Amino acid sequence: PFYPYSANPPLQAYALALAIGALGLSEIALHLACLPFSALAVYAMYTLARQLGGHGLFAALLMLSTPVFLLSSHSVMADVPAMALSLLAIALLLRGVEEDRTGLLVAAGVAAGIAALFKYSGLSLLPLLGLYPLLKPRTRALHFVPVGVAAALFGTWIVIDFSISGEIHVAAALLRETLQPSTGTGGLQFAGNLMGLGAATIFPPLLLAWSIAAARSTHRSTGLAVGLVAAAAAGLLFVVMTTGGPLLAPEMASQLQYDVENAILGALFLAAGSAALVFVAARGIYAVRMLSRPRLLGEEKPSLDPAVAVLLACWFLGLVAMNSLLVFATPKYLLPGLAPLILLLIHPGGASPGRFWTAPVGRTGIVATTLVLALALAWTAHVQSGFHQRA
């Protein structure tokens, strides 16, 4: 009966049904059954980061301790499984293309197809699977196998779904979940999505300073500096709009009346989200420029292959774009975007990562502050849930 209202394909429901059959219907059993997906996500992140330059342990620990991942790691929702399979698909794709191994490329397509069967946002992987081979100087027809495999898997689900229900569920779900232009709240929705992005990417709390440290190694920090100024201005504007005379249309102003504490928190999230968005866009533009002018590769010798940097930027920006269309966008929807953001941050665009990234004390401090923030939020959620139960 829930089928017409579900926003996701049914694979997570089948996985939970299998867990119930094996472990019984209990809250603890269901949450434990979901932990292997989190372990797969951390392992895939470790593997992918190692492939890109040897920062495997740092990248994996940072993603693990990030609040939005740690708090969702045992959730019975479909977000973490889709994230784990997405990470695995990209890791297999990069290795399969580099080594021309058919088995790895087929496995990448299978992982991408399964990710889309857990959550429809996994469909954003399909253009990425086709984009990366095009960015490489030596492209073979074999490299596009993952796109065909993933499309075949998802297409099989569409055929089965239509034969049973008489409709295509993905089309109905997207129509129901996306924001309609006639609502007139596009600006408000965009601001809310930016705050959601900030809530997902505000690790550690000093993300702005962290981004500056990463940009100093790129020799191209102007774009990021502009982004940080824009982020600060966005946060300040949000405080002004939500605590004083609103600068938006009257129908939107009634929805944006916060007390000072919530306005400051919203401004922090909005600034962090804006900074992350501009940072990734700037890295993507920088990588495209290097691909279009090969002589720059010899001059600046980036620590990350520009083709990979473009792939990571498109991965992150594509997810943000998809979520900006949703009526109800929450930070956990952006879980798959953590991996490309972290990888772009720990791999600067220039030749040297600088002491900030290579010093053990720097990496330990980043992971430690991120973990403290996540644990504080977990405890807050625990206390709040108890309060609501008593109320």
Q: For the segment 194-233, what is each residue's pLDDT rounded down to a tens digit?
A: 777 877 877 654 555 555 555 554 444 455 555 566 666 6
The token pair that represents 124 in the structure block: 């954003």
* pLDDT higher at 245 or 67: 67
Complete DSSP assignment for 307-344: HHHHHHHHHHHHHHHHHHTBSS--GGGGGGGHHHHHHH
Say yes or no to pLDDT of 271 above 50: yes
Asked if residue 130 lies in contact with residue 147, where contact means CB atoms within 8 angstroms, the answer is yes
Cβ neighbours of residue 216 closer than 8 Å, sequence gap 6 or more = 354
pLDDT of amino acid 219: 44
Residue 328 backbone dihedrals phi, psi, to 5 degrees: -120, 90
What is the model's pLDDT at position 293?
76
Q: Which residue has the higher pLDDT, 370 or 153?
A: 153
Residues whose CB is less than 8 angstroms from the CB of residue 88 and which lie 6 or more positions away in sequence, other chains included: 40, 44, 111
Q: Which are the contacts of 30, defined by CB distance < 8 A and separation ≥ 6? A: 16, 19, 20, 23, 76
- pLDDT, mean over the chain: 78
Residue 321, both tokens: 């774009």
**At residue 71, does pLDDT exceed 70?**
yes
Identify the pLDDT of residue 83: 93
Q: For the ranges 30-44, 126-140, 285-299, 302-316, which has the lowest average pLDDT?
A: 285-299
Provide the percentage of residues in the chain whose pLDDT is more than 70. 72
Q: What is the pLDDT of residues 365-388, one digit of tens each?
A: 778 888 888 888 888 877 877 665
Q: pLDDT band for position 192 (50/70/90)? A: confident
